[in-house]
Amino acid sequence: MSRRDQITMSDDEVLAFLDEERVVTCASFGPRGWPHLMPLWYVVREGTLWSWTFAKSQKIRNLERDPRCTLQVEAGRDAYHELHGVMLECEATIHRDLDTVTRVGMDLAGRYSGAEPAADMREAFERQAAKRVALEFHERRRATWDHRKLGSATY
C-alpha cells in the first residue's frame, strides 16, 4: 500500500473532521489572476459545505467571474506527524434569495454558538441576509491527508 493510500481519509472521517474544525480557507481567482485566499466559517448540510459572506466582497466578485475555488481545512500544525486535512476543488453557487441566505446564517450561528437561534431572531438574521449571499460549494475533486495514521514516525 502506498503512503498516499495510508493517509487518505474515508468519507466518514472527512465528515467527522469537518464537524470538529471551525474555519475553511477559500481560494478563488482574484482580479489579476492570482489566488485570493480568505477564511470562512462554514456549515455542512447533507454532505455539502455552505457559508455566507457580504455580497460586495472581493471573493464574491471573484466567484461571479469564475465559480471555481479550492477549499482547505487543516489541523495539527505543531508536528508533521499530526498534520491532517481536506482540500476540495469546488464550483461555488451563489445564492441571493433571502430565505436561503437567512437559513444559512442561522445554521452558522447555531453551529458556532452551540445553540440553535431562537425563532424570534429570524428578523435579525433577515436584516443581515439582505447584505449577504450564501455560498454552496459543489465538490468536484478531493484530496485528504491524515499523517496521524502513520504514527509518530520520523520524516
For the chain, give the mean pLDDT: 93
Report pLDDT for 152: 66
Q: What integer is the mean pLDDT of 121-143?
A: 95
- Domain map of the chain by residue range? 3-150
**Which of 68-96 are b and which e, b meaning 16 or more Cβ less than 10 Å from the residue's Cβ?**
ebbbebbbeeeeebebbbbbbbbebeebe
Asked if the 3-150 domain carries CATH number 3.40.50.300, the reply is no
Report pLDDT for 115: 85
> What single DSSP character describes residue 130?
T
pTM: 0.91
Does position 153 have pLDDT exceeding 60, yes or no? no
Contact assessment for residue 87 and residue 26, using Cβ atoms and an 8 Å cutoff = no
The tens digit of pLDDT for each residue in 18-33 reads 999 999 999 999 999 9
The tens digit of pLDDT for each residue in 54-106 reads 999 999 999 999 999 999 999 998 888 899 999 999 999 999 999 999 999 99
Report pLDDT for 117: 83
The CA–CA distances, whole Å, from 53 to 24, 63, 74, 81, 101 equal 13, 12, 21, 34, 9
